[in-house]
Amino acid sequence: MEAIILAGGFGTRLRPLTYTRAKTLLPILNKPMISYLMEMLPNEVRKVVLAVNYRRDQIEEYFETNDFGREVVVNDEPMPLGTGGAVKFAEQHITGTFLVLNGDIICSLDLKKMIEFHRKKKAVSTISLWPVENVSEYGVADIRKNGNIIEFIEKPRPEKAPSNLINAGAYCLEPEVLDYIEKGRLVSMEQEIFPKIIEDTGRFYGYKFDGYWIDVGRISSYIDVHRLLMKNKKIKKIEGNNCEVHGMLKNYSCIGENVYIGYNTLLDSTIVFNNTHIDNNVVLKNCVVGENCVLGRDSDLRNTVIGDDETIMEKTVLDNKIVWDKPIPVGYPDRQIGNVIEK
């Protein structure tokens, strides 16, 4: 069985962290995001096709040095192709029923059980479903008691919503789905292909699961996923190797390797990447600090994201800022392209 992981996005809402790295290589508890998806794959999956475009070289290098016990193919897209286009571009690797996974979803989905459900229903397509409180922000599934989805209602008013279940970004598909996708252009699986499958086959199912689900698409959710996973592990902070910490880490803060934290410095719900030096009397609240940064003493930063290789002068005060003083990478877009799930 094969799995396609959609790992080609730029991650524009996670900039400036994604100016210098592939979104799926962003560390979560000091492990690349994509490693969580690799680890949740059932044993039946023997080949993983990575649909990539941006920062392909970084992803190739990661998998050259990290063995997950499966064949990994880095499928370099000539341009952003969207969810459907990326799946079609991987067609040559598909031999039967296959999975498609959104590369920036961290969740508790049991893929083995989802595959079993798909086969039991003799489905053409099965998608994972997650309940939300505010249905007006999403496309909501109109689903029957047997799990059959008959349509999606886009951003309904709460009183008109057929359910509170949304597309959670994992799909189990039969090869015939590939016949619906036009080759060589950006195609949205969710907006263009799924409605056709529902209409033509009536064998489009939804698989609801429990536990947790986070779309790591924004800085706020990037911080949230650290908090969630640390709560699940019953730990309140994480320190990487070779760190020197004289201050305090609280509220599920996480620091990478070779990080120095000065005296009377406080990290509150903050993530710090490798090789960063934070001086004395610094406050960081709801912040993310990239690699190889230096933060001067007596600074106060809140709700702020600092890109790699930045220096913050002493006594700096920032709130709700993005810090990046270098040129934006050539070709990096100013908005999302080919989104997997409408947000």
| Res. 339 pLDDT band, cuts 50 70 90 | very low
Would you call 115 helix, strand, or coil by DSSP?
Answer: helix
* Chain position carrying tokens 């990447």: 273
Q: Which fold has domain 2-215?
A: Spore Coat Polysaccharide Biosynthesis Protein SpsA; Chain A (3.90.550)
Picking from 66, 68, 64, the residue whose alpha carbon sits closest to that of residue 45 is: 68
The residue ranges of every structural domain in the chain are 2-215, 236-323
Would you call 5 helix, strand, or coil by DSSP?
Answer: strand
| Res. 334 pLDDT band, cuts 50 70 90 | confident
Superfamily of domain 236-323: Hexapeptide repeat proteins (2.160.10.10)
16, 321 contact by CB (below 8 A): no
Backbone angles phi, psi at 7, to 5 degrees: -125, 25
pLDDT at residue 137, as a whole number: 85
250, 233 contact by CB (below 8 A): no
CA distance 26 to 31: 8
Extract the tokens encoding 215.
């779309």
CA distance 60 to 55: 9
For the stretch 238-272, pLDDT in tens is 999 999 999 999 999 999 999 999 999 999 999 99
**Rg of the chain on CA atoms, in Å:** 21
* Chain position carrying tokens 């190739």: 60
Extract the tokens encoding 137.
């922000």
pTM over 0.75: yes
Picking from 276, 209, 274, 191, the residue whose alpha carbon sits closest to that of residue 240 is: 274
pLDDT at residue 98, as a whole number: 97
For the stretch 80-93, pLDDT in tens is 788 898 999 999 99
* Chain position carrying tokens 């798909």: 118
pLDDT exceeds 70 at position 71: yes
Average pLDDT along the chain:
93
Span 87-105, average pLDDT: 95
Q: What is the DSSP string of 32-64?
A: EHHHHHHHHS-TT--EEEEEE-TTHHHHHHHHH
Sign of the dihedral defined by the CA atoms of residues 298, 303, 309, 310, in that order: negative
